[in-house]
Amino acid sequence: MATANPTVQSAGPISGSRSFLSKLREGDEIARLITFIFAATVVLITVALVYELWTSSVLARHKFGLHFFVSEAWDPVLDEFGALPFIYGTLVTSAVSLLIAIPLGIGASIFLAELAPPRISDTLQFFIDLLAAVPSVIYGLLGIFIVVPMMRNVIYPALNKPFGFLPIFKGPSYGVGMLTAGIVLAIMVIPYIISVSREVLLSVPRDQREAALALGSTRWESTWKVVVPFARTGIMGSVFLALARALGETMAVTMVIGNTPKIAASLFAPGYSIAAVIANDFTEATGELQTQSYIELGLVLFLLTFILNGLARILIIVTTQKGSKVSN
């Protein structure tokens, strides 16, 4: 036993290094290393981003503290800055856009994946991919020249007359405002939802559909009760992708939101989003504190995205667990 021990101990490293060498020769180890570096850069970039935002906003963070999150002031002359109107505008426009885009997008993807003949489905998919690739400034122009007049002449009277007693539909409309921004954002994110959801729905195994049909369900029942729940996680993924785009969208939003840092209950009122104010004002910021406040706004936007993404993860985990319990 005593003599066997050393040989056993030395056997490990030797055989290990041998296999490492042979792996290296076969390229496995090299490939692993290179792809690892690529993967690590993603983490590094995120860390560097947060570090940079954190250190460059030190003045503003010290001066305003947590008050930054609840203050409504934005006065470059008096050097008083608060993020609340921008957080509000960002969240409201994103929420409005998702409210519109989710039913439309998922409905369209169900049609394309389940009901439409493949030729129509593929042709439409081509247009949807095209829409997803249109630069956002083009959507902004669409917003200014089509959605804004439509808002004033059609949507506003239609909503304000019957529902004007609700705070969200109260007050005058200038054409531009948070609802307009939400609609333009919805138009922008729908292609993402459709594109990803359609792929997910198409990848649902044929067995699932056949089983449902064999049990006597209609085509719609098999789609709605079997295929869609099966693809639920992926569809949610598409929605969160859309949300991420809506949160960070800059150009199209700033062209139609009205750019007014005020909190108003009415969706017709002008507002402002975090990304829009940074794009608008950052280069012309006059004082160090103002510049740093914009950087801190960037940090806030990052935090917002982080929290919402985290919530999305939790939601997916919870719902998949529920789903698997039901199927058990």
Partner 1 sequence: MKRTAVLLMAVLVAGGLVWAQGLLINGAGATFPYPIYSKWFDVYHQKNGSLQFNYQSVGSGAGIKQVTEGTVDFGATDGPMNDEQLKAYQDKHGSAILHFPTVLGAVVPTYNLSGVSGSLNFTPEALAGIFLGKITKWNDPAIAGANKGVSLPAGDIVVVHRSDGSGTTYVWTDYLCKISDEWKSKVNKSTSVNWPVGLGGKGNEGVTALIKQTPNSFGYVELIYAAQNNIPYGTVRNAAGTFVKADLKSVSEAAAGAAKDMPEDFRVSITNAPGKTAYPISSFTWLLVPSKIQDNAKREAIKGFLTWMLADGQSYAEQLSYAQLPKAVIEKEKKAIAKVQ
For partner 1, the binding residue among 93, 259, 273, 293 (CB under 8 A) is 259
Q: Is 280 in the site for partner 1 (CB under 8 A)?
A: yes
The H or E element spanning position 75 is strand 74-75
Closer residue to partner 1 (CB): 145 or 220: 145
- Separation of first and last alpha carbons in the chain: 52
Helix (H, G, I), strand (E, B) or coil at 80: strand
Q: Is 281 in the site for partner 1 (CB under 8 A)?
A: yes
Q: Is 268 in the site for partner 1 (CB under 8 A)?
A: no
Closer residue to partner 1 (CB): 176 or 194: 176
Closer residue to partner 1 (CB): 102 or 277: 277
As measured in angstroms, the least distance from the Cβ of 270 to partner 1 is 5
Q: Is 270 in the site for partner 1 (CB under 8 A)?
A: yes
Residues 6+ apart with CB under 8 A from 87: 69, 274, 300, 304
Closer residue to partner 1 (CB): 207 or 284: 284
Q: Is 202 in the site for partner 1 (CB under 8 A)?
A: no
As a whole number of angstroms, the distance between CA 191 and CA 130 comes to 9
Closer residue to partner 1 (CB): 78 or 133: 78
DSSP percent split of the chain into helix, strand, coil, nearest 5: 80, 0, 20
User: Closest Cα to residue 188, out of 243, 234, 226?
Assistant: 243
Mutual orientation of helices 274-281 and 288-327 as an angle, nearest 10°? 150
Q: Is 155 in the site for partner 1 (CB under 8 A)?
A: no
Residues in region 82-141 near partner 1 by CB under 8 A: none
The single residue listed with the structure tokens 């003949």 is: 117
As measured in angstroms, the least distance from the Cβ of 294 to partner 1 is 10
For partner 1, the binding residue among 74, 156, 169, 192 (CB under 8 A) is 74
Closer residue to partner 1 (CB): 13 or 149: 149
As measured in angstroms, the least distance from the Cβ of 98 to partner 1 is 25
Task: Say if residue 285 is exposed, middle or buried (CB neighbours under 10 Å; 0-12, 13-18, 19+).
Answer: middle
As measured in angstroms, the least distance from the Cβ of 164 to partner 1 is 17
The H or E element spanning position 100 is helix 84-110
Q: Is 304 in the site for partner 1 (CB under 8 A)?
A: no
Quick note: the x/- pattern for partner 1 over 156-185, rule CB under 8 A, is ----------------x-xxx---------
Is the separation of the CB atoms in 161 and 132 below 8 Å? no
For partner 1, the binding residue among 291, 292, 301, 304 (CB under 8 A) is 291
Closer residue to partner 1 (CB): 32 or 67: 67
Binding window for partner 1 (CB under 8 A); candidates: 47-55, 127-135, 157-165, 257-265: 257-265
Q: Is 2 in the site for partner 1 (CB under 8 A)?
A: no
298-303 long-range contacts, CB within 8 A, separation 24+: 298/53, 298/57, 298/274, 299/50, 299/53, 299/54, 299/57, 300/68, 300/69, 300/83, 300/86, 300/87, 300/274, 301/90, 301/247, 301/248, 301/274, 301/275, 302/49, 302/50, 302/53
By CB under 8 A, name the binding residues for partner 1.
73-78, 144-145, 148-149, 152, 172, 174-176, 254-255, 258-260, 270, 272, 276, 280-281, 283-287, 291
